Amino acid sequence: MVLSKKRARHVIEEIIALFPDAKPSLDFRNHFELLVAVMLSAQTTDAAVNKATPGLFADFPTPQDMADASESEIAKHISRLGLYRNKAKFLKKCAQQLLDDFDGQVPQTREELESLAGVGRKTANVVLSVGFGIPAFAVDTHVERICKHHDIVKKSATPLEVEKRVMDVLPPEEWLAAHQAMIYFGRAICHPKNPECEHYPQLYDFSSL
């Protein structure tokens, strides 16, 4: 049974209240580094990405540097990450696209971001919201699991359905905070196995609604 819009908003806002200062856990200094870090984070922990990127960014600080590098030169920096050979290929191609199509700048629309090699909807949404402050809601494994566990969406919901539901439930100014808080909540409390959400009764206190 999927929660009503009011109750779903209550649950998400209580999660935000648990982690009001949640910040992106990927390390980056500019839009290009953010894009690369988010691309690398697929099927890999942010902590592992943060270990790999200092050397990567030191050797290839700009799209031009990365486009000029060979796939093997890029791969050696990220060889401990999942799918690193594919990621190296995507990074080189993406960097070349930034030069060819966007004057070396990271674009600021979802359509343009998704035109880049290795960039899907989730990556585009993170770059828009975290990098440019443009309202967007990214759905990763934590967000999808939490929304299904707490009946914000049906168990069979696709990532896109999760995204649209949360955007419908919350005002745009809360989308980024919800994304960040859900990641922390998923890591600390709503685990894939043995979630500890029952220790937080305020999530389920709908008496004021």
Which one of the listed residues 87, 101, 122, 164 is annotated catalytic?
122
Report the alpha-carbon distance of residue 182 to residue 198 in Å, rounded.
Answer: 16
Query: Catalytic residue among 21, 140, 148, 154, which?
Result: 140
Cα separation of 160 and 114, whole Å? 15
- Burial class of residue 136, CB neighbours in 10 A (0-12, 13-18, 19+): buried
Question: Buried b / exposed e across 94-121, counting CB within 10 Å, b at 16+?
Answer: bbbbbbeebeeebbeebeebeebebbeb
How far apart CA 134 and CA 104 sit, in angstroms, is 20
For residue 140, indicate whether it is catalytic. yes
Q: Would you please indicate which residues are annotated as catalytic (active-site) residues?
A: 122, 140
